[in-house]
Amino acid sequence: MMMQQTLRNVIEFSGVGLHTGCEVSVRILPSCGDTGITFFRRDLPGSSAIRAVSSNVTSTSYATSLGSRGATVSTIEHLMAAFYGMGVDNAIVELNGPEVPIMDGSAAEFVGMVESAGLVTLSTPRRYMVIKKPIKVVEDDKYIFLMPSEEAGLSINYAIDFSHPFLAKQSFSRPFSKDVFRKELGSARTFGFLKDVEMLRANGLARGGSLENAIVISDTEILNEGGLRYPDEFVRHKVLDLMGDISLVGAPIMGKLIAYRSGHALNHKLAQEIWRKPGRWEFSDLSPVEDAVFAPSAALLEKMATI
């Protein structure tokens, strides 16, 4: 049986939001078992807590945003991926602005801060979502399949194929683990096309974007002086985004995840589809006793639908 974890020490940092361009300060505090990840907008006195669950997703346009009773927080996917990848089940994230800082465009700095803060094991068992029957979402030529697996844990097979010389066919296939996340996914940066920058900024987006926090691609070259961190950094970042988005189901997943060209919108649809199909998965605390695996109760499903 695996137990839930939270931070040992408080994390504090600040940075610029990718889309708003606002300087935002963040504090991440330890939290109790079964509380999950919760965001608080400290610049909005009296605002509600924003639980990091799929039912609170308000936008998937160029980032994932959460909201509750008028309070919103955007670009949460890299921080959520770091929590998921590093095994942080419970934490309180306080911000004084509308967006999680983009940092260097990856989850690497979040990973480093979690490692420096340390983790504490709680007395609450960790419940895994074990996939028993296939779950899929499809949109045009994009898709995500979530399949049962005979192996413990989560395995990932992700592929992209863009009409661009630098983003031709790339794929990433690994069993998912903390070590894989730290060494092979966490440092992969977000990316965008130079031709789209003016359009994005005209629509109030990418105001904090720069070569310091994103890979920028022209028709003929990668503009970042240092080039890429991995030859296939683009697909690795897409996996990182998927992990951050899928973490919003509220429990670590056990199964096979197969994706092709998915983005935030399709990732969110998968999270929704999982909760719409409760007969296709079961919760397990991985205890050896026979009754360790159980189906979600009607009360739990109702609660998740209204959070």
Residues 6+ apart with CB under 8 A from 279: 133, 295
What would the pLDDT profile of 125-147 be if each residue is shown by its tens digit? Answer: 999 999 999 999 999 999 999 99
CA angle 214, 208, 178 (to 5 degrees): 45
* Predicted local confidence at residue 296, as pLDDT: 45
> Encoding tokens for residue 48?
């509600």
Q: What is the pLDDT of residue 88?
A: 98
* Confidence band of 203 (pLDDT split at 50, 70, 90): confident
- What does the pLDDT read at residue 287? 61
Query: Which residues does the annotation mark as catalytic?
Result: 264
The second-level CATH assignment, the architecture, of 3-125 is: 2-Layer Sandwich (3.30)
CATH 3.30.230.20 region(s) of the chain? 3-125
pLDDT(275) > 80? yes
pLDDT band at 302 (very low <50, low <70, confident <90, very high): low
Tell me the average pLDDT of the chain: 92
Superfamily of segment(s) 128-306: lpxc deacetylase, domain 2 (3.30.1700.10)
The percentage of residues in the chain with a pLDDT greater than 70, rounded to a whole number, is 93
**What is the pLDDT, as a whole number, of residue 199?**
82
Span 41-88, pLDDT tens digits? 999 999 999 999 999 999 999 999 999 999 999 999 999 999 999 999
**Alpha-carbon distance 257 to 253, whole Å?**
9
pLDDT at 294: 39
Give the Cα separation of 253 and 39 in Å (integer). Answer: 22
**Residue 222's pLDDT band (boundaries 50, 70, 90)?**
very high
Q: What is the pLDDT of residues 13-26, one digit of tens each?
A: 999 999 889 999 99
| pLDDT-wise least confident of 37-41, 103-107, 178-182, 217-221 | 217-221
- Decide: 248 and 80 in contact? Cβ < 8 Å: yes
Look at residue 261 and tell me whether its pLDDT is greater than 80. yes
According to the model, what pLDDT value does residue 181 have? 98
Q: Is the pLDDT of residue 114 over 90?
A: yes
Domain with CATH 3.30.1700.10 in the chain: 128-306
Helix or strand (DSSP H, E) at 235: helix 233-246
Looking at residue 27, its pLDDT comes to 99
